[in-house]
Each structure stands twice: as C-alpha cells, then as structure tokens.
Chain A
Amino acid sequence: MNNIFVYCEVEEGVVADVSLELLTKGRSLANELKCQLEAVIVGAGLKDVENQVIPYGVDVVHIIEDLRLAPYTTSPHAAVLIKLFQEEKPQIALMGATPIGRDLGPRVSSALHSGLTADCTSLEIGDHEDKKAGKVYKDLLYQIRPAFGGNIIAWIINPDCRPQMATVREGVMKKEILNVKYPGKVNHLEVSKYVSDTDFAVQVIERHLEKRKINIKGASIVVSGGYGVGSKENFKLLYDLADVLGAEVGASRAAVDAGFTDHERQIGQTGITVRPKLYIACGISGQVQHRAGMEESAQIISINTDPEAPINALADYVITGDLSEIIPKMIKYYKQNTK
C-alpha cells in the first residue's frame, strides 16, 4: 500500500529505456518517502523480464502476460492498471510520456479521478499548506514542468487524489542500475481477473516499426537551429557544419513549426532530450521548453544576432552575428586546424 508504481513498456521482450529511467527516479523517491518501488509489466513473451527491472531497485514486479496483451491497445492495459491501483492504492504512479503512456495515463487517471501531469521535467517531494482550508499536506509529489509556451515553470500538485500521476519523456531522467542482486519479488497476476474479453475490441491488424534513422540522443555533438535560422536554405549550413564535425542536427520547436526541418529532430520538452559534449545553438532564442531538452549539455555555443537572447545565459561561448557568415568560418577554421 502507498507505494510508488511505474508502468513499464515492453517491445519484443525488452523494457523501454524511459521505463528504466523512471524506475531509477522512482527508487530515489521511494527512499525519500520510505516506501517500496513496484513495477507493472503488461504484455506477451515476458519470460524473465523481471531480471531487466529488479536491478533498478524494484521491490515487487507485477507481471500480467497474455498473447492478446501485445501489441499494446488501450483498454486491456488500462483495465489492468485501474484494478491494480484500486487494490494496491499507490501514492505515486509514473509512466513514460510516449505514445503509449500518453494514451494510457489519461484513461487511467479519468477512471480513478486522480490528477495527471504530462511531460514533467522534474519530480520532487515536498509539503504544501492550503491556507484557505487550514490544511497541511506532507510529502506530496511536486510535478514540475514548463508551461504555456515555455514562459513559466509550473509546480503541479494533487493534494487530495491518489495516485499522483505523472508522465516523463525519454531521456529526461537518468538511468542507473542500483544493484544487480537486488532482492525484488515477482507477482504474477491472472489476466482473467483484470481484463474482460470485451476489452479486446480494438485490434492492431498491421504494424511497421521503423528503426530511428536519426540518433540525436546518442550524438556527442549537436548542431541545432531555431527560428532565427530564417529559412530552409540557411538550415543547410547547419547540416554542413554537422557533417564536418561528425554531429547530428537538432532543432527547436519554432524551427520545426516553420518547416525548416523535420519533426523528429525537435529538441526540448515536447521533443528529444540531449546531453552532448557540445551543443551549438544557432538562431535559437532559448525558450524554457527548448532549454529543458538541452541545458545539461557539457558545453554550449550560442550563435545569435541578438546579444541578449535568453539562451546566451546558458552558453559557454556567445557568438554575436550572422550565422550565414559565422558557420562557414567555423567550418573553414576547423578544417585548417585539424589538418
């Protein structure tokens, strides 16, 4: 009772990175709250899947296995979580802000009338005093996220409803094994007790999974462009620089919305989170939603015509000027100095 639950996504028997990241975060929250960490795995072909999650400090793994539970569809997975949460009464439930978590989370939160905060960039434990009601709430989950076009950071709480639910994007939290011999237990659930046959009315009749062609998350250098790049043509300069440096190209949401480059390159709260050795921000003003996806970069270069661009505050090097002049010079001097 009152433990922390993490819904773990599985594709072909492999637990998703985002779920392992949430288990890592869940473990540290559980330590702070002195409660247990429990994982829920729903799917098919789950033999020994517990071995993938227990080392992250999971005390109990709930596994529910049935051929019809993979690939994911909403209703059966939601039915499992709704009933399990009613039985176990977790205080906190976390899931990835993935197409699955963002499909499942709201469904479960609606059924349980518990609050859900999407795309959190940070989770903390803290108290809350409701002065009007004269009530003090101890040890709430602060669900912290940029809001409103990134102009503010909001601390969201669910004082009265449980579980406190939040989704977090892949790459936002760090993934760290606690102990390969962690003594976690397995609890196999019987599918017929949780899911009824009518829950399987939606059928996946075909699936084409594409390997991600672009690996921005794993790149050690990212050259990223914002609205200030100005055009699709200018964006080519960024590809030129990335080619020379062995970097990947990223973009802010404004650049993606403007059609300068593809959606899959978007970095930020609603895109990818990166932690490269070097992040070169070109024509990016630096709204908080973008910064949420790159501020842990080891070094940051900002190229901007505006010397007061907010992103410059994060930068180690600020180059003020026109990127169509600066980028070719960077390429030229890089080549000269590496010969």
Chain B
Amino acid sequence: MKGLRIIVLAKQVPDTRNVGKDAMKADGTVNRAVLPAIFNPEDLNALELALRVKDEIPGTTVTILTMGPGRAAEIIREGLYRGADGGVLLTDRAFAGSDTLATSYALSQAIKEMGEYDLIIAGRQAIDGDTAQVGPQVAEKLGLFQVTYVEAVLKIEKSKITVRRRLDNGVETVKAPLPLLLTVNSTAPDCRSRNAKLLMKYKHARTVTERQAATEDYLYLYDSRPFLNIHEMTVMEIKSEPDQLGLAGSPTKVKRIENVILQAKDAKRLTAADKGINDLMKELIDSHVIG
C-alpha cells in the first residue's frame, strides 16, 4: 500500500498550571510571552497516532503544522526528534488575537498551500482553552469529513480508515473515507520519547527567522541539509481575506475578564486535634448531613 501523507496540527500552549500575575494582557488576551510553553498534551497523542501509521505503512510522511509566535518552532523540533518528517510554522502578527474560528481559517488556508494530504490529525483540545473547536472547524473549512475523540487507528484500506472513538459513555468503531480529519483523545497511547539519532539529526533545525538571529558557525549546514529547514509561512504565503484573520476575523470577543477573588464565608476553623474533629462529626450526624 502507498504511504499516506499526514499533517499533524499541534499547538504550543502555556503551561496553565504555572500562571503568574502578568499572564493576561489588558485586552483580555493571553500574554504568552511570560509563560512556560509546552507541546499541547493531546497533540502529542495525535503525533503518536500518525507515527504509528508511518510505522505500519512505509512511505508515509508526517508533517507538523503549528500556528503561533516564532518560538513555537520549538514544538516542531520536538516533533522531529520523535519521528516527524518535517514541519511548518505559520506565524504572523496578522494572526494575533484569533479566536478558534479565525485560527481555523488561517490553518486551513495554510494547509491548502501544503500540497495533497490523506489525513489531518489534531489533538482533541488544547489545555489553554479546552474548546475542542479548531479540529472540527478546520475540517469544515476544508470540506472534509471528521471523526473526533479517536483513540486508535484499527485498519487502513485504500481510501478508507477504521478508527475507535472513546466517548463519555462507551466506545464506537467508525469507518470513514480519506481524506479525513481526526481529533485524538488523551486515552490514545502516549507519544514515544525522543530518539537519540533524530535528536542529533535535527538539533540544528531552524526557521529562517531563527537562522537570521543565530550567530553559530553551523549556518553553512542549511545548504547541504535541506531537512534542517523548518518552513516558516507568513500571511503573505497563504491566500486570505484580511477580514477573516486575527481579531477582525473572530466573531467572539472578550467583553471583560475578572480575576477570581473569593469572598470568604464565615467558616468554622479547626485543626487535626481530636476534640474538634469529634465535635464536627457529631454536628454533621446530628444535623443529618451524614449518617
């Protein structure tokens, strides 16, 4: 069987478990610059699913597409170290402030520039928004069928794929035609770790902007080793309507945000001392809350 051409949609996300005071800008958007950034966890599951198809069907290629600021190239390198064949960084100030719809539009226009594909695989959702919207919206914009909540690829035949979905209330086996967009759950297998050989091969992989900023003496490598080039795509390289991009292309607006401040109740305070806990249990039993 002929290898598949797979695009994995990935996002570099702020690690929302480590959020400081300056994490939000005045306009209600996220100030990503001040936060530790990681490969979105379910996008790693998506990458693993793609790599398993590649293991099974020789000739399969896996290309990562991410949209974000320049430093998002980090997750493309991370993907290359784990087995991806290439990556595209879609980056431009024109995309700033995009909601899920404007993001999906930009991604789908970029995909149209990336040549033919059989499968697009994305994580179900990103931990900074938890919306699970970008996958289905990209599918709609490209006119593709979608299967969400996937945890395993069961079978690939010529122009058809069979997958298992994991839902809240059970599992489903679904057969769908290619090309197709899948979104992948965290119940799918964890992503393999970095491969030492690939790490050596790709450690100098850079976008053109990164190369301009670099002073190292390995810059001569890029002519002889084209695989070290991470393709950087700007708004100039995609066909787009300006009113569909960024804040202008986002139907949803943040009206206001509130930091979370709690008004304390007048709570009874106690410690691990026996008497307090004994009294508490008595009180709860007497008021029929427990027992």
Task: Give residues in A with beta carbon < 8 Å to B.
Answer: 71, 73-75, 78, 98-99, 102-103, 105-107, 109-111, 113-119, 128, 142-143, 146-161, 201-210, 212, 221, 245, 254, 263, 269-270, 277-278, 286, 288, 298-299, 301-302, 307, 310, 312-322, 325-326, 329-330, 333-334, 336-338
Contacts and interface: CB of A to CB of B under 8 A. Distances in A.
A152 B130 contact: no
Contacts of B136: 74, 103, 105-107, 110
A334 to B, nearest CB: 5
30 contacts: A73-B174, A74-B145, A99-B149, A106-B135, A106-B136, A107-B137, A109-B101, A110-B141, A115-B250, A148-B16, A148-B30, A150-B16, A153-B258, A156-B254, A158-B252, A201-B177, A204-B174, A245-B290, A263-B187, A270-B130, A278-B289, A286-B262, A288-B260, A313-B265, A316-B265, A317-B267, A318-B269, A330-B280, A334-B281, A334-B285
Contacts of B100: 106, 116
B109 to A, nearest CB: 13
Nearest to B171: A208
B128 A109 contact: no
Residue of A74, A110, A115, A245 with most partner-chain B CB within 10 A: A110
B256 interface: yes
List 6 tightest A-B contacts by C-beta distance, closest first: A149-B16, A115-B251, A313-B262, A115-B252, A321-B272, A106-B133
Contacts of A102: 132-133, 148
B213 interface: no
Interface of B: 14, 16-17, 19, 23-24, 28, 30, 99-101, 104, 127-137, 139-141, 145-149, 162, 165, 167-177, 186-187, 250-260, 262-265, 267-272, 274, 276-278, 280-282, 284-285, 289-291
Contact of B267 (A98, A245, A312): A312
Given A109-B133, A245-B290, A142 B278 contact: no
A299 B288 CA distance: 12
A313 to B, nearest CB: 3
A150 B99 CA distance: 18
Contacts of B127: 149
B24 to A, nearest CB: 6
B252 A329 contact: no
A326 B254 contact: no
Contacts of A118: 129-133
A209 B259 CA distance: 40
A105 B132 CA distance: 10
A314 B147 CA distance: 40
Nearest to B145: A202
A159 B169 contact: no
A313 B268 CA distance: 11
Given A147-B129, A203-B174, A317-B280, A322 B272 contact: yes
B172 A206 contact: yes
Contact of A202 (B147, B168, B269): B147
B174 A312 contact: no
Nearest to A108: B140
B133 A142 contact: no
Contact of B251 (A99, A161, A221): A161
Given A106-B133, A115-B251, A278-B290, A209 B170 contact: yes
A220 B41 CA distance: 34
Contact of B260 (A71, A110, A150, A209): A150
B281 A337 contact: yes
B225 to A, nearest CB: 38
Given A106-B100, A106-B133, A333-B278, A99 B148 contact: yes
Residue of A109, A113, A277, A330 with most partner-chain B CB within 10 A: A109
Contacts of A207: 170-173
A206 B141 contact: no
B251 A142 contact: no
A143 B147 CA distance: 27
Contacts of A156: 252-255
Contact of B255 (A105, A128, A147, A316): A128
Residue of B132, B251, B257, B278 with most partner-chain A CB within 10 A: B251
A218 B257 CA distance: 32
A153 B257 contact: yes
A205 B19 CA distance: 44
A254 B259 contact: no
Contacts of B140: 78, 106-107, 110-111
Nearest to A301: B280
Contact of A151 (B19, B264, B271, B281): B19
A204 B251 contact: no
A204 B173 CA distance: 6
Given A161-B251, A313-B262, A210 B267 contact: no
B36 to A, nearest CB: 12
Contacts of B291: 334, 337-338
Contacts of B145: 74-75, 201-202
Contacts of B17: 149, 254
